[in-house]
Amino acid sequence: MKATFFKITLVLVLTINAVSCKAQQLPLNTLLKDIPTNAYVKDLDNEFPPYIGTYKATYKGNEITLFITKEENKPSKLMNKNFYRDVLSIRYIVKNSSGIILQNTQSMNLSAQSNFNILSMGTMPELGQVALGYDGTNCGVGWGQINLKKLNTTQISWDYYPYNTILDEETCPSSTDTKVYLPHTKGLIFTKQ
């Protein structure tokens, strides 16, 4: 009888433990102040899937290819708060008119560095848009915000708002490529491939 009681108690303790350890799930646009430590900010309403895919556009003679994916349960740390979240992630290739690759983040290990990342910050359902943060190129040049708007099943609109960066020789050697190859424009149409 003691063995049966022990087994029942053990199963009960493990079940309670498993339920209590499950992270709290919150919707995408939960304010940072309302996200508890280790919570999961999840795409509960499937707002991201319409953006997922490969898109192309041409801007000033360059061909830009975006590879948009959804990353689930991505560890995040903002304002000293650790939590998990679903994000849209963009990798890209920029080629000139001769087909020469000017910049390619498709095969970079972006989680190991603080530049070149383009990750969603939230959605703006009332505008039909997703806001993404861009870490910038080398030395953080070009960091800013990118807004994507779904126009129809095959097209998205791109708005890129870079912020200022002050460079000095100590933090960014003059030999560093700090050119921003992403299109600095508003309303650029990308077409799904």
> Which whole-number Å values give the CA distances from 22 to 39, 78, 155, in the listed order?
9, 21, 38
At residue 112, the pLDDT reads: 59
| pTM greater than 0.95 | no
| pLDDT band at residue 150 using 50, 70 and 90 as cut-offs | very high
At residue 113, the pLDDT reads: 63
Residue 48 to residue 45: CA distance in whole angstroms = 9
For the residues 25-39, what does the mean pLDDT come to?
A: 94
Residue 140 to residue 166: CA distance in whole angstroms = 10
Specify the 3-state DSSP secondary structure of 138.
helix
| pLDDT band at residue 167 using 50, 70 and 90 as cut-offs | confident
Provide φ and ψ at 72, rounded to 5°.
-100, 145
Looking at residue 23, what DSSP letter applies?
P
CB 70 within 8 A of CB 52: yes
pLDDT, tens only, 10-30: 444 444 444 444 579 999 999
